[in-house]
Amino acid sequence: VSAKEVAQHFQTRIETLDRKLNSFTSINPNSLSDAAEIDARIAKGEDVGPMAGVPFGIKEMLCTKGIRTTAGSKILENFIPPYDATVVARLKKAGVVVLGKLNQDEFAMGSSNETSFHGSVKNPWNLECVPGGSSGGSAAAQAARLVAGTIGTDTGGSIRQPASFCGIVGVKPTYGRVSRYGIIAYASSLDQAGPMVSSVKDAALTLEVISGFDENDSTTTQKQVPAWSKSLKSDIKGLKIGIKKENMAGSLHPDVQKTVEKSIETLKQMGAEIVEVSVPLTEMAVPVYYLVAASEASSNLARYDGVKYGYRADFKNLSAIELDEFYGKTRGEGFGAEVKRRIMLGTYCLSSGYYDAYYNKAGQVRRLITNQYLEAFKKCDVILSPVTTAPAFKLGERIDDPLEMYLNDIFTTSTNLAGLPGMSVPFGLSQDGLPIGIQLTACHFEEQKMLDVAFALE
Ligand code: GLN
């Protein structure tokens, strides 16, 4: 088949099936001609790249040249970027055809995709359930096979949690592996983009394409990108799998508990060695994460003032108003409730007099969490844990209780705080037929080990 036929096939699926899911927010009007161009280059004998003609959906957080990029917010409702994020540019260079943009929580703040300006997304496994968040559109579109692959971003779990809720593979790379250039900033010291796809092999290949040094992002590593997809092996004999003592302490849903136990048993039978490790400060991960993330967000989101780009409140006589009033009205109308909550929380933590008590303290505990992980990785190769305490919850069930929603991130946030690579791989279903993922975490830049264990479990 030609790239154009493939793009046409998926486009038809989007047109017919996405009315129920609401996973797409914008469609690339040029996707068929982009695909035809790939076909023409193939016909000329050109090397079109390792992902020639593969149709992808891209989370709204990533800038796409000429395609609307809203970050799920009214404040960017008409923003059309003049350039591609490095991740998008690299995918295109590898031959990927961008089909459109995918729904998400507003500025990636959320765990259920219910804070999006474009409305909530439904979980394809059960339309009454959330797909998870913030990359809910990516997870739902991939699970419903509306695309061959998607890109998500993960600041505190936003790739892994929706991947788990929708039964797909989601990888958050080591901090610094993937360029953040052109990705709308939420919390810059935590944000990473990564693949949300249907198999570990697809994840490895996509990661290979998007990773590596970028002169436009000084936090990217100079380290060479390994050929993960070619090195994948399911022989994990002798590999040490760490189980955190702290994991089981909380009250896990029985189906999640069983799935985790089954995965451990499976790996044991394959010859892996199971060792107990301890990261006692895991219990502090949620409060530390929400302090750090909200603080950085409050600073990053200061740029949306209605002056240079984005939404601007309607003023009859612009010259007669005060600047503060202008900012206030624009931001008041442009941001949703959750984003405002985070901006207020973050501004408070960064304000003089509170900085040392909150932001600085959070930074110190963050360092201790990282150190505890480094100790744990002296005893094991990969840490296995749940992704969430329970399978996907119902739409509307938690949206009015922010604290309950934040606590949902107990297993995912410490990975970002420590800058470690983490992923979710599907492993079984709940009694109600909802997917459950297993989380694998490795030491910095050890993605291969994590991918291998996922490959063995797949
Ligand atoms: N649920 C977390 C939050 O709301 C994580 C989001 C993310 O990883 N982008 O901040």
247 burial via Cβ count (<10 Å: 0-12, 13-18, 19+) = buried
134 has catalytic annotation:
yes
Residue 411 has pLDDT above 70, yes or no: yes
Q: Is the CB of 112 under 6 A from ligand 1?
A: no
Ligand 1, atom nearest to 408 Cα: 1
Q: Is the CB of 110 under 6 A from ligand 1?
A: yes
Reply yes or no: is the peptide bond before residue 120 cis, omega within 30 of 0: no
237 has catalytic annotation:
no
Angle between helices 285-300 and 337-350 (to 10 degrees): 100
- Do the bridges between strand 382-386 and strand 240-244 make them parallel or antiparallel, or are there none, so unpaired? parallel
23 has catalytic annotation:
no
The answer, as to whether pTM is greater than 0.95, is yes
Centroid of ligand 1 to alpha carbon of 456 (angstroms): 28
Q: Which of 243, 206, 250, 241 is nearest to 225 (CA)?
A: 206
Centroid of ligand 1 to alpha carbon of 279 (angstroms): 21
- Of 31, 112, 134, 164, which is the active-site residue? 134
Which architecture characterizes domain 3-231 according to CATH?
Alpha-Beta Complex (3.90)
Angle between helices 285-300 and 361-376 (to 10 degrees): 130
Q: Which of 61, 62, 105 to mutate to test the pocket of ligand 1 (most atoms within 8 A of CB)?
A: 105
d(CA 43, CA 65): 26
Q: What's the whole-number average pLDDT of the chain?
A: 96
Which of 30-39, 146-155, 203-212, 321-330 shows the lowest per-residue confidence on average (mean pLDDT)? 321-330
Handedness of CA 179, 448, 423, 175 (dihedral sign): negative
What is the model's pLDDT at position 248?
Answer: 60
CATH 3.90.1300.10, the chain: domain bounds: 3-231
What is the model's pLDDT at position 52?
Answer: 97
What is the model's pLDDT at position 272?
Answer: 98
Centroid of ligand 1 to alpha carbon of 174 (angstroms): 17
- Adjacent-strand bridge partners of 126: 123
Contact by Cβ (8 Å): 121, 103: yes
Centroid of ligand 1 to alpha carbon of 157 (angstroms): 6
Ligand 1, atom nearest to 135 Cα: 9
What is the model's pLDDT at position 319?
Answer: 84
d(CA 95, CA 91): 7
Q: Which of 439, 445, 438, 437 is nearest to 420 (CA)?
A: 445
Residue 205 has pLDDT above 70, yes or no: yes
Q: Is the CB of 113 under 6 A from ligand 1?
A: no
Q: Is the CB of 111 under 6 A from ligand 1?
A: yes
Cα 312 from chain centroid (whole Å) = 29
Percent of residues, the chain, with pLDDT higher than 70: 99
Q: Is the CB of 134 under 6 A from ligand 1?
A: yes
Ligand 1, atom nearest to 155 Cα: 8
Contact by Cβ (8 Å): 130, 392: yes
Q: Determine phi and psi for 369, rounding to 5 degrees.
A: -60, -45
